[in-house]
Structure 1
Amino acid sequence: MAIATINPTTGETLRVFDEIGDAEIERKIGLAHERWRSYRSTSFAQRAEWLRASADLMEKDVEELARLMTTEMGKTLDSARAEVRKSANGMRYYAEHAEGFLADEPLADPSVVGASRALGRYQPLGVVLAVMPWNFPLWQVMRFAAPALMAGNVGLLKHASNVPQSAVYLEEVLRRGGFPEGCFQTLLISARKVEPILRDPRVVAATLTGSEPAGRSVAAICGDEVKHTVLELGGSDPYVVMPSADLDAAVATAVRGRVQNNGQSCIAAKRFIVHTDIYDAFAEKFVERMRALRVGDPLDEATEIGPLATEQGRTDVEELVADAVGSGAKVLCGGQRPDRPGWFYPPTVITEITRDMRMFGEEVFGPVASLFRVADIDEALEIANATSFGLGSNAWTNDPVEQDRFIDELYAGQVFINGTTTSYPELPFGGVARSGYGRELSAHGIREFCNLKSVWIG
């Protein structure tokens, strides 16, 4: 894929970037490694000052930055502005809390290990490579960069090839905020250049958010090199609705949960599993609201659904829908690309999904909802867990016993009751099974790229 900004609303190529060569890659890795030697000794207060200044700059750039993201990957202006503010909030969160999260952990009674003093101390690892996706061009990066920089690590960013201007901006805003040159650098490279960087001994760890194949590749290389990784991969999140739920709230949230970011979110609700007692009422309201969503130019403030980010992404969605329909699934709304320029796909609801259809087991990365009818909570849990993924999950019920069962029995990194999965700096974020491993955000996220050193003093 070319490193280029291609407007998904029109298909027009707006700007093309040259891939940097091996000599420039070597220079940037060398700079990062040398910078870490001094940066690791900076104080938490100094790092926090730079990070807060960068957050302030990002918020001042909100309108320009929102239009840039919308033009590069098609999210609506409103959601782009929200992403800018969320990223700045995450930066301030780690500026405030990093020192406490990484404080020494003394053993209450060191005499039990024969010491006068014993503790655990968190120390930065070094140069970390981040391989990031296009769907949240700022937030995906900042939820790595903010804690990593506050911990004393330095970062190299290989961003998705279709958001190069967002990638360049991220390096620039951190430099404008005061971080020394080399603390965070963007690498405008293709995927084929990632392996040599991962194998470079100066690069000590990696984090990837993206597809399962990409995660497998990075994990295999880093496993061979014995390097730490954090992977956040795909998801096919269940959204269960039981009879005791507030139906109108469940429907409204279901629509938002499915079409957030034009349906291109790993943690978007994708499989809607509804108890038979309320299935018909839910389906009617859900389809009506999905059908009514306004699809159009994401730069238009009235638009609710913009285009998919890439032409291949739309093709992938179309193929999954065609496979299901060809095997007997029923389309309740949508299901056909509109006759217009750009990579648009309408909000779609499909029912009568069977286990032999690709859609049952694969992630649909677009505004397509699968609707299932179930007889009871046992069947709901069985279908919810009948996936190779385990990222987020959602359940709507006001029955405390049912809530406890969903919390305990949904196999996922996150369970949201009477809501839909989202990410907060305060809560750990990540998955199980083929959705990856490790955690981002909260105290757990900043500690992922630290050495927890045991200290014993006799």
Structure 2
Amino acid sequence: MKTLSMTSPVKTVNPFNNEILREFDILTDEQIDQKIELADLAFQSWRKTPKAKRAQLLHAVAKILRSRKVELGKLATLEMGKLLKESIAEVLLCADIFDYYADNGERFLADHPLDTKMGSAFLSYEPIGVLLSIQPWNFPFYQITRSAAPNLMAGNTMLLKHASNVPQCAQIMEDIFEEAGAPAGVYQNLFIPGSSIDKLVADKRIKAVTLTGSEPAGASIASAAGKNVKKSTLELGGSDALIVLNDANIEQAAEAAVRGRIWNAGQVCVSPKRVIVEAGIADAFLEVVKAKFQALVVGDPLDEKTDLAPLSSEKAVQDVIRQVEKAVFGGARLVYGGHRIDRPGAFMEPTILTDIQPDNVVYQQEVFGPVFMLYKVKNEQEAITLANATEFGLGGSVFSTNEARAVNVARQIDTGMVYINHVTGIAPELPFGGTKHSGYGREQSPAGIYEFVNAKLIRVTQPQNAY
């Protein structure tokens, strides 16, 4: 039997203590082919399944997620380290997303009439086939849900290639779909190495691919999909700006910025990675932020008193520490933290950097950890210019007590999402996605269900009027 080039098992390593919890064997080429075939076969019947019955499956998944929220939350925490309360909130968000598409999917997919001069015309939204979903570890359940819920409701089937450090979360979602009554092949998990993905994208039975991950991974997938004339969507992270205008409530803006930055130990694509503050309030703002950082409790993510969890892996913490060291070497001022914590696990101190100049290495980088980078600007226009001085364009925030002013600034920020007086967030009914090097396509909201359907035009005229 032919096997893949990588034969080492997929491992779960608890980042709280770096202990190996469980291992899974990777699939052989023959096993992968069988799963693709099963997904393709399942599509032939799932596409014909009434939408109301598809909705029943999604509701059943949501019900299971809510009933097992603590168990699933603990699993995510053990695999990638986030606070248990964050993990449980993630599971509940996933349940809401499944319910959202179950409740609204049939309406979203209803025929859309078009105005035409002769006869009648409408768009029929039809599924396209087997989708390959490639997802990261930072939100091990949510990342799956964003692509699975709308696309299964639309009548597609799905193969998941999850991050290698969250295999238990990957497998348990397949188990949950089976428990909910999903027909065999509608949703399957694949334990495969990244090196095998191009081959899957090229497989004629797989019709499209969606990826959340790094910019290099996205470029590779987009290239492979384009080569094979297949649709793709990409969400590739960001370097989101949080702008604090001089009329903002300093306490509220600082609290939001700090909580947004340490959320998931700073490992969030839409985390406020660059905090841009007008000069008149910058010093006062920094003092409030520093006091909040000093009060943070770093520790066991299962302990409800903990504010800051470990990073996802030993490599992750080493990478972020190295970025901080390079930033300081390049002239940035280290205001607080910046070091590895002397204890078992992938822990680092919450960190504040200021005085980051355009020639500093971190100026154009995404720092995926609890590093708060503060930029002082002269005025509103300089804040906008700095916010746009990045190749990324995912999310962003503007804080001001003047709504009209904040909205005007938001319109000038080149991103896919901007929140006013709130860090970039998540809700089932709101579209999620970016522009520039943050990728393309949208998930969630009505927009999320249209990415991988065929919007087929059907035109009707009387025989004597046909042309």
Residue type of the partner of 1:66? G
Structure 1 residue ranges without an equivalent (≥5) = none
Deviations 1:105-164 (A, max 9, x none): 1124x3x1x3x2211110001000000000000011101100000000000000000000
The separation in 1 between residues aligned to 2:108 and 2:122, in whole angstroms, is: 15
Aligned partner of 2:109 in structure 1 is 102
Aligned partner of 2:413 in structure 1 is 410
Aligned partner of 2:14 in structure 1 is 7
Residue type of the partner of 1:44? K
The separation in 2 between residues aligned to 1:176 and 1:283, in whole angstroms, is: 50
The separation in 1 between residues aligned to 2:30 and 2:429, in whole angstroms, is: 40
Aligned partner of 1:78 in structure 2 is 85
The separation in 2 between residues aligned to 1:369 and 1:11, in whole angstroms, is: 25
Does structure 1 retain, via aligned residues, the 8 Å contact 2:330–2:361? no
Instruction: Please report how far the alpha carbon of residue 299 of structure 1 lies from its aligned counterpart in structure 2 after TM superposition.
Output: 1.2
The separation in 1 between residues aligned to 2:164 and 2:407, in whole angstroms, is: 43
The separation in 1 between residues aligned to 2:406 and 2:436, in whole angstroms, is: 23
After superposing the two structures, state which structure 1 stretch, 387-396 or 2-11, moved more: 2-11
Does structure 2 retain, via aligned residues, the 8 Å contact 1:2–1:161? no
Q: Which of 45, 50, 66 lines up with 1:43 in the alignment?
A: 50
The separation in 2 between residues aligned to 1:247 and 1:20, in whole angstroms, is: 53
After superposing the two structures, state which structure 1 stretch, 397-406 or 216-225, moved more: 397-406
The separation in 2 between residues aligned to 1:384 and 1:400, in whole angstroms, is: 19
Instruction: Please report how far the alpha carbon of residue 188 of structure 1 lies from its aligned counterpart in structure 2 after TM superposition.
Output: 0.5
1:51-130 to 2 correspondences below 5 Å:
51-108=58-115, 110=116, 112=117, 114=118, 116-130=119-133
**Residues matched between the structures, number:** 454
Aligned partner of 1:320 in structure 2 is 323
**TM-score under structure 1 length normalisation:** 0.98
Aligned partner of 2:5 in structure 1 is none
Residue type of the partner of 2:53? Q
The separation in 2 between residues aligned to 1:199 and 1:240, in whole angstroms, is: 43
Residue type of the partner of 2:244? V
The answer to whether structure 1 residue 182 and structure 2 residue 205 are counterparts is no
After superposing the two structures, state which structure 1 stretch, 152-161 or 246-255, moved more: 246-255
CA RMSD for the aligned pairs?
1.0
Residue type of the partner of 1:392? G
Residue type of the partner of 1:306? A
Residue type of the partner of 1:123? E
Residue type of the partner of 2:120? R
Deviations 1:18-72 (A, max 9, x none): 1010000000000000100011001111011111111111111111111110000
Does structure 2 retain, via aligned residues, the 8 Å contact 1:291–1:334? no
1:282-301 to 2 correspondences below 5 Å:
282-301=285-304
Aligned partner of 1:368 in structure 2 is 371
After superposing the two structures, state which structure 1 stretch, 313-322 or 20-29, moved more: 313-322
The separation in 1 between residues aligned to 2:81 and 2:292, in whole angstroms, is: 21
Does structure 1 retain, via aligned residues, the 8 Å contact 2:350–2:370? yes
Residue type of the partner of 1:248? E
Aligned partner of 2:24 in structure 1 is 17
Instruction: Please report how far the alpha carbon of residue 401 of structure 1 lies from its aligned counterpart in structure 2 after TM superposition.
Output: 4.5
Does structure 2 retain, via aligned residues, the 8 Å contact 1:48–1:96? yes
Does structure 2 retain, via aligned residues, the 8 Å contact 1:270–1:369? yes
Structure 2 residue ranges without an equivalent (≥5) = 1-7, 462-467
The answer to whether structure 1 residue 144 and structure 2 residue 133 are counterparts is no
Residue type of the partner of 1:230? T
1:37-436 to 2 correspondences below 5 Å:
37-108=44-115, 110=116, 112=117, 114=118, 116-436=119-439
Instruction: Please report how far the alpha carbon of residue 316 of structure 1 lies from its aligned counterpart in structure 2 after TM superposition.
Output: 1.4
State the 4+ residue runs in structure 1 displaced beyond 4 angstroms. Answer: none
1:439-458 to 2 correspondences below 5 Å:
439-458=442-461
The alignment-based identity, stated in percent, is: 45
**TM-score under structure 2 length normalisation:** 0.96
